[in-house]
Structure 1
Amino acid sequence: MRTAFRIALVLLAMPAIPTIAAAATKNEVLYQTSLDIDRDGNSDKAALVLVGPGRTDFHELTRDRYGLSENERVDLYIYLGKGGENADLRQKPDFIKQQVADPERVPWVQPLEVSKSGSLLISAAHQWGASHDWTEILTVIYRNGEPVVAGFTMGWSWNSLLADDTFETREGECDVNFMTGKGTLTKDVDKPQPIKVVFKPVKLTDWTSANIPKACDSWQSQDDG
């Protein structure tokens, strides 16, 4: 009994052991692309990195989109001057933005793209093929040595079942240019209407879903005509 009591005391004095879930967390490159994001004439690498417990079917799910599971998030890594290489997570990136897509709003992450002007486009969607779905796109550029959100675009589709058992589809788009400070809201086939707010660029490090203009979520109140 004394021996058992001593063992118990030793165990109580030991530091807490990390949980299995925390120990199993790992990073994997989900999508990557090359671009000259800082406009210095050298190719850079941007990568979306999946952070979570890991999936055995990971590589089978990433071709067109990836649905984040519970306890997973996606971070943005930027490696300056390394656009000709695959992203190597053993190397420290020049920039990291944790949870670049809000899994509560848009859990379906899509491949990175580069705009015609050379900006980085980060896309994620709410649902696929559902009655109410939307896609959000962040336009990211470099200013004063760091990434900033230069634009936000949100496109949506709202399908409603009518009394005669037919469906009515309503679509729209909210588009904000943080560099010019202007934005527009389009509902159905109407002409784009200006959003009466003056916008300012947001550092990517500071970006959260709280920065999304309220007008971009107004489409969810479909009774406003």
Structure 2
Amino acid sequence: MTAFHDAALAWLVGLVALPAVGFAESPPAFELKLDIDQDGKMDRARVTQELGAPADLYIYLVTGEEKLDSSRRPDFVRKGLTEDRVLDLETKGKGWLAITSCFGCGASKSTEETMTIVYRRGQFLVGGYSRSWDWNQQTSDGVKTTLGGCDINYLTGVSIVSKDLEGGKPIKGKFKPVPLKAWSSDRRPKACDF
């Protein structure tokens, strides 16, 4: 009977350990191949995010088409890129990486953001930022709905904002690319707040 209990205990310990091993080997939330530094060789971007935690961005230069070696160190890391839930990772043309995230994700209070990342003069930059919002608040008179959005191209300086159902209007001010390592929601223009 003791041998049976020892075997059962070993089996249970092994069973409990399996999810931890499986979790450690789980694939990233998003992974994309692109030529972000525009040198003619494929690079790789990876975003990981635990449930309810900030998203982390890893960029590996010159990875080619081979499977990424788990021991390889990334060429660029940006921890806590966004607090919101990442929805998509895509390339927008040559050398552009777009990361879309949301808060509320379609609920009565929600926002969606897309950050476009480029590589210029040896550094990763935020080359574009857009944000839209649909915010419903209970008031004593019913529900107050706030709609709007902003779109900033930091590379060209062109930017627009729209509030409620009005058409887009240019945002006053000058906009230059922001180093990705220095980006935070505090860096977005006030026009993108509601």
> Does the alignment reach a TM-score above 0.5?
yes
User: In the alignment, residue 153 of structure 2 is paired with which amino acid?
Assistant: N
Question: TM-score w.r.t. structure 1 length?
Answer: 0.67
Deviation at 1:195, TM superposition (A): 0.8
Query: How large is the Cα RMSD of the aligned pairs?
Result: 2.6
CA contact (8 A) 1:47 1:87 kept: no
Q: Deviations over 1:141-173 (max 9, x none)?
A: 0011111000110011134669997x7755321
Question: TM-score w.r.t. structure 2 length?
Answer: 0.77
Counterpart CA distance in 2 for 1:152 and 1:36 is: 20
Q: Does 1:45 align with 2:26?
A: no
User: In the alignment, residue 131 of structure 1 is paired with which amino acid?
Assistant: S
Distance 1:34 1:120, change over 3 A: same
The residue aligned with 1:34 is 33
User: In the alignment, residue 175 of structure 1 is paired with which amino acid?
Assistant: D
Deviation at 1:134, TM superposition (A): 0.6
For the residue of structure 2 that corresponds to 1:210, the secondary structure is helix
The residue aligned with 2:73 is 92
Unaligned runs of 5+ residues in structure 2 are 1-23
Distance 1:87 1:95, change over 3 A: same
Q: Deviations over 1:20-66 (max 9, x none)?
A: xxxxxx6962210011100111111000023x6xxxxxxxxxxxxxx
Identity %: 38
Q: Does 1:79 align with 2:60?
A: yes
Unaligned runs of 5+ residues in structure 1 are 1-25, 53-67, 220-225
Counterpart CA distance in 1 for 2:58 and 2:95 is: 17
Counterpart CA distance in 1 for 2:144 and 2:55 is: 34
Higher strand share: 2
State how many pairs are aligned: 172
The residue aligned with 1:175 is 151
